[in-house]
Structure 1
Amino acid sequence: MSTPSADPDTAPSPRPLPVDRPTPLEPPSDFRLLRTELPVAPLAFPDGPPGWLVTRYDDVRAALADPRLSSRRPHLNSHVRPSLITTEEMARLRPSDLLTSDPPEHTRLRRLVTGQFTARRINQLAPRIQDIVDQHLDALATGPRPADLMATVALPVPSLAISELLGVPFTDRDQYQRLTAELLSLDRTRDQLLASKAEMKTYLLGLIQAKRTEPGDDLLSGLVHTQADDPTLTDDEIAALAQLILIAGHETTANVTGLAVLLLLRPPRLWDTVRDQPQLVDAVIEETLRYATVLQFGLLRVAREPLTLAGQDVRAGDRIVLHLPAANRDPDRFPDPDRFDPHRPDATKHLGFGHGPHHCLGDQLARLELRTLLATMLDRFPDLRLACDPDRIPTHRHRVVHGPAHLPVDFTP
């Protein structure tokens, strides 16, 4: 379905990105109308000229793979809040990484870390991830109740897994988890954001230097080793890659874990159904990624050249937001999209991990962690239950990654 370009005299005025959720698990209701009536809508940005908001599944998926749309941008969240730092400051504190680069630079950077995320490498990690899950579920079983599942299990499990893969000391988790939360928050002042970025960069550069002295069997050591044969690879680039993998590797998986458990425990309590049919665990993961897409504000692209997007003329330089949660609730792609359905046959077609050249590098690691976590919890805690009203679960409304801030649960010991 194509939408003709609007007459400038009758075109709707640009409006800010819808962000208000009717419930913790529902995306803003505005997207239903936008998908139908204005699938490429004029979007008012907090700073700079207006751009466009894309909400239909087919359009978002095509745009994610369109080389005419660039991932280069001065600030990741400029469609949600004003850019608090300049382009020069951003370049100094964080050079281009896998999120903010285009081929061939993106191809070069991605090739540097792809080997750590092959199916063979992920399978090798499976026993260690099971150990990590078992240790934290032991702590859940013997700790005080009710327990906060986010703090006890959902956050530390992927944090420990990604820290071991990267070669980041888990003993530093308080620091890097704090910095992650600060960098993903939309409530920081300019000075706070600059301080967090500088502290994260200093921390990672220190680790890189330590790997030169005492290398290990980890990704950071591998990148330092590669640097000896590739002098074009800078410490700043290694630090930027490490920062992205560290943040994405634990923050997203932790929140998907919390969302999956919340979806299964809320009425009508699908936890019991999946416990009796453990073969549904993979389907639960995919449906959670579709239904409760954690990158809640979408992905930002910039038009390299004039183009037509779903019938709408776009100028070179225009900023375009590809809204993944809206696309994943598109009824033209997913019938009855606002129903969480572990039996949904096509849930794997979701865009929760993106699409095209920027498809998430760690998707298989995330799936392994989620599968291990959910399958083991279902087996060990058959009567796990929420310890508060599901509609009162606090969520990250002002952070790039959506999910439960806390998830109180109880069970029979």
Structure 2
Amino acid sequence: MTPEFGPSELWEPATRRDPYAFYTRVRAAGRPIPQLDPAGDRWWVVARHADVREGLQHPDLGHQLPGQPPPPDEAGRIAARQLISLDPPDHTRLRGLVSHAFTARTAARLEPWITEVADRLVARARFLGSFDGVADLADPLPVNVIAQLVGVPEDDRPMFRSWSATIVSGSDFDGSATLAFAAYLDDLAALRRKEPADDLLSGLVDLDRDDLVATVQLLLIAGQETTVDVVVNAIRLLLTHPEQWRDLRDDPSLAGAVVEETLRFRGPVEIVPPRFALRDLGLAGGVIPAGERVALSIWGANRDPEVFADPDVFDVHRADAHRHLAFGHGIHFCLGAALGRLEARIMLDRVARDLGTLRLVADPGDAFRLHQGGLPLTV
């Protein structure tokens, strides 16, 4: 029997409490499922691993419709020029300018410094006894790493963290956080033009102004939010699966496997930024009309039983976790994947070694989102 779907079911409270059940039904339907978002726009939801992987690299799925005018407002223009919103050749050009700073080799060179920062954070958490897993443990590490790479002065980093949190939470309705960020970056870029430094910003200052702001903004946001999400959710999952937490404490070298299973089981991205069908598109057993949005569900793909054994079980020993699509696929594969993996692995290794008595004060549950609150912990 073909599953039935409400017209806006994806956004209903019951689905938000358990989105994985929705994606199970989408996979079973064997076709793209149309859903109307709160603005009344139609999205075609795709959730099988094979179909999502195909969609992520499909030449007829793009971020920009031909002839689409740029947004008239400054904040909208900046958002539209981010790498995740661009197609080739602009995407190829801009990604090429920053990719050298995010190679596995570059990440490896940063490992001693990242380890030093993680050690300080873990030592402080142990001293506090009771602390917030977000604000006191997971958050400061990626904030400082990405800001260091870009070239944001240490004293200014709390401002960047605030702007990032506002933008990611979806509460930047008037674009004020984006505009404040842009104004600050204008000044910092002007300084780098006069006095170049050994940082990423110094190599980008000749870009068009909107491209410069958009590129740096995305790097700072993506470099912070996704890694924080992985670390916090890994800690929550470990502490709610005591046998897995014990295994990591007994063997901290499992930290890398914990990162991969967390990315699969509860990664930071539910649906990739919507793509448009550039022409009538055959995908996932159906035809998506030209010009309409396609929602490729990473969460749906990463719980596909055709790929992952017992996909709804969190298991840090699974052999197939590496097949997840949490970092995407194709030309938009996450630029900071190597760095994010390194940061999360180091932090979880240090937590396992030095916070062995860690426990949850309260479990926020699977619907937990970073911008909705913290993760209360105690040792």
- Does TM, normalized by the shorter one, top 0.5? yes
Cα offsets for 1:109-145 (capped at 9, x unmatched): 11000110122211111111111111212221222x3
Aligned pair partner of 1:395 in 351, 361, 368: 368
Map 1:295-306; keep pairs closer than 5 Å.
Answer: 295-306=269-280
Distance 1:151 1:49, change over 3 A: closer
Cα offsets for 1:319-357 (capped at 9, x unmatched): 111111111111111121110011111111101101111
Residues 1:17 and 2:1 are matched in the alignment: no
Aligned mates of 2:252, 2:134 — CA distance in 1: 22
**Match for residue 379 of structure 1?**
353
Q: What letter matches 2:139 in structure 1? A: L
**Match for residue 119 of structure 2?**
134
Cα distance, 1:18 vs. partner? Answer: 4.1
Cα offsets for 1:293-333 (capped at 9, x unmatched): 21134431001111211221122101111111111111111
SS in 2 for 1:87: coil
Residues 1:203 and 2:184 are matched in the alignment: yes
Name the structure where helix makes up a greater proportion of residues: 2
Aligned mates of 1:263, 1:13 — CA distance in 2: 31
Map 1:297-316; keep pairs closer than 5 Å.
Answer: 297-316=271-290
Distance 1:309 1:337, change over 3 A: same
Question: Would you say the 8 A contact 2:48–2:304 is kept in 1?
Answer: yes
Map 1:70-219; keep pairs closer than 5 Å.
Answer: 70-72=62-64, 87-89=71-73, 90-143=75-128, 145-188=129-172, 190-191=173-174, 194-219=175-200
Residues 1:61 and 2:53 are matched in the alignment: yes
Distance 1:159 1:359, change over 3 A: same
**Match for residue 293 of structure 2?**
319
Q: What letter matches 2:182 in structure 1? A: K
Aligned mates of 1:37, 1:64 — CA distance in 2: 20
* TM-score with structure 1 setting the length: 0.84
Q: What letter matches 2:155 in structure 1? A: T
Ranges of 4+ aligned residues in structure 1 off by more than 6 Å: 21-24
Aligned mates of 1:13, 1:373 — CA distance in 2: 42
Aligned mates of 2:366, 2:89 — CA distance in 1: 43
Aligned mates of 1:123, 1:310 — CA distance in 2: 39
Distance 1:195 1:73, change over 3 A: farther
Using the aligned pairs only, state the percent identity: 38
Question: Would you say the 8 A contact 2:57–2:330 is kept in 1?
Answer: yes
Aligned mates of 1:91, 1:394 — CA distance in 2: 29
Q: What letter matches 2:93 in structure 1? A: R
SS in 2 for 1:313: strand
Cα distance, 1:404 vs. partner? Answer: 7.5
**Match for residue 338 of structure 2?**
364
Residues 1:235 and 2:209 are matched in the alignment: yes
List alignment gaps of at least 5 residues for structure 2: none
**Match for residue 333 of structure 1?**
307
Distance 1:244 1:19, change over 3 A: farther
**Match for residue 374 of structure 2?**
406
**Match for residue 79 of structure 1?**
none
Aligned mates of 1:95, 1:41 — CA distance in 2: 26
Aligned mates of 2:323, 2:238 — CA distance in 1: 21
Question: Would you say the 8 A contact 1:150–1:404 is kept in 2?
Answer: no
RMSD of aligned residue pairs (Cα, Å):
2.5
How many residues in Structure 1 have an aligned counterpart in Structure 2? 374
> Structure 1 stretch 245-254 or stretch 116-125: which is displaced more?
116-125
Question: Would you say the 8 A contact 2:274–2:296 is kept in 1?
Answer: yes
> Structure 1 stretch 51-60 or stretch 291-300: which is displaced more?
291-300
SS in 2 for 1:299: coil
Cα distance, 1:403 vs. partner? Answer: 7.9
Residues 1:352 and 2:333 are matched in the alignment: no
Aligned mates of 1:185, 1:301 — CA distance in 2: 21
Aligned mates of 1:314, 1:245 — CA distance in 2: 32
**Match for residue 222 of structure 2?**
248
Cα distance, 1:19 vs. partner? Answer: 5.9
Cα distance, 1:201 vs. partner? Answer: 1.4
> Structure 1 stretch 359-368 or stretch 375-384: which is displaced more?
375-384
Aligned pair partner of 1:40 in 8, 26, 32: 32
Question: Would you say the 8 A contact 2:30–2:285 is kept in 1?
Answer: no
Distance 1:392 1:340, change over 3 A: closer
Q: What letter matches 1:160 in structure 2? A: N
Cα distance, 1:373 vs. partner? Answer: 0.5
Cα distance, 1:196 vs. partner? Answer: 1.8
Question: Would you say the 8 A contact 2:253–2:349 is kept in 1?
Answer: no
Aligned mates of 2:213, 2:41 — CA distance in 1: 32
SS in 1 for 2:242: coil
Cα offsets for 1:29-78 (capped at 9, x unmatched): 2222121025410111333542311111110110000011002379xxxx
SS in 2 for 1:360: coil
Aligned mates of 1:272, 1:163 — CA distance in 2: 34
Question: Would you say the 8 A contact 2:63–2:86 is kept in 1?
Answer: yes
Question: Would you say the 8 A contact 1:303–1:314 is kept in 2?
Answer: yes
Question: Would you say the 8 A contact 2:78–2:213 is kept in 1?
Answer: no
**Match for residue 22 of structure 2?**
30
Question: Would you say the 8 A contact 2:265–2:312 is kept in 1?
Answer: yes
Distance 1:39 1:406, change over 3 A: farther
